[in-house]
């Protein structure tokens, strides 16, 4: 049951972030409310935690990489949206604050997920002094 609930919450969290990233360009009919701003990080982190609780170490590494990868892709999509709006390649019909929010949280959580659970065998070699 934890796995199902975690997968659903993680999916809803990423979907919330995607809706926030698409909203400034009018791809989402109604403007996202405050709920999506709160639910994006809340559902994403709680979904990850519910999936991670029963997971064994090899599955936890895979889960962290998948969740981190999804969030990093979402952050890159938001960054691409910001670039498109700034260069006027794509006209933003709403303020781009949501893109900055998704970019910041996606980068933070995505990089954390991708860099978590590194083994000692993959650690960078110390620099000679």
User: Which residue's entry shows tokens 């994403």?
Assistant: 44
How many residues belong to the chain? 129
Compute the distance between CA of residue 72 and CA of residue 107 in angstroms, rounded to an integer: 6
* CB distance 23 to 98 below 8 Å: yes
Q: Given pLDDT bands bounded at 50, 70 and 90, which one contains residue 123?
A: low
Please give the model's pTM, rounded to 2 decimal places: 0.85
* CB distance 15 to 102 below 8 Å: no
User: Which residue's entry shows tokens 């895979």?
Assistant: 62
Mean pLDDT of the chain: 89
Which of 102, 108, 57 lies closest to 79 in space, CA to CA?
102
Average pLDDT over residues 14-24: 94
The predicted-structure confidence for 94-107, as pLDDT tens digits, reads as follows: 889 999 999 999 99
Q: What pLDDT does residue 120 have?
A: 45
Q: Where are the alpha helices (DSSP H) in 23-127?
A: 34-52, 57-86, 97-115
The predicted-structure confidence for 41-72, as pLDDT tens digits, reads as follows: 999 999 999 999 998 988 889 999 999 999 99
Give every CB contact of residue 28 below 8 A, 6+ residues apart in sequence.
19, 22
* CB distance 43 to 7 below 8 Å: no
């Amino acid at each position: 049951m934890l796995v199902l609930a975690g997968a659903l919450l993680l999916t809803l969290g990423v979907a919330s972030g995607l809706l926030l990233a698409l909203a400034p360009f009018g791809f989402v009919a109604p403007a996202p409310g405050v709920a999506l701003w709160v639910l994006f990080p809340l559902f994403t982190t709680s979904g990850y935690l519910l999936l991670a609780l029963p997971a064994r170490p090899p599955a936890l590494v895979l889960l962290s990489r998948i969740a981190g990868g999804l969030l990093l892709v979402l952050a890159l999509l938001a960054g691409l949206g910001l670039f498109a709006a700034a260069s006027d390649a794509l006209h933003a019909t709403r303020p781009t604050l949501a893109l900055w929010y998704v970019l910041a949280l996606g980068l933070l959580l995505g990089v954390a997920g991708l860099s978590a659970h590194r083994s000692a065998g993959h650690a960078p070699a110390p620099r000679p002094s």
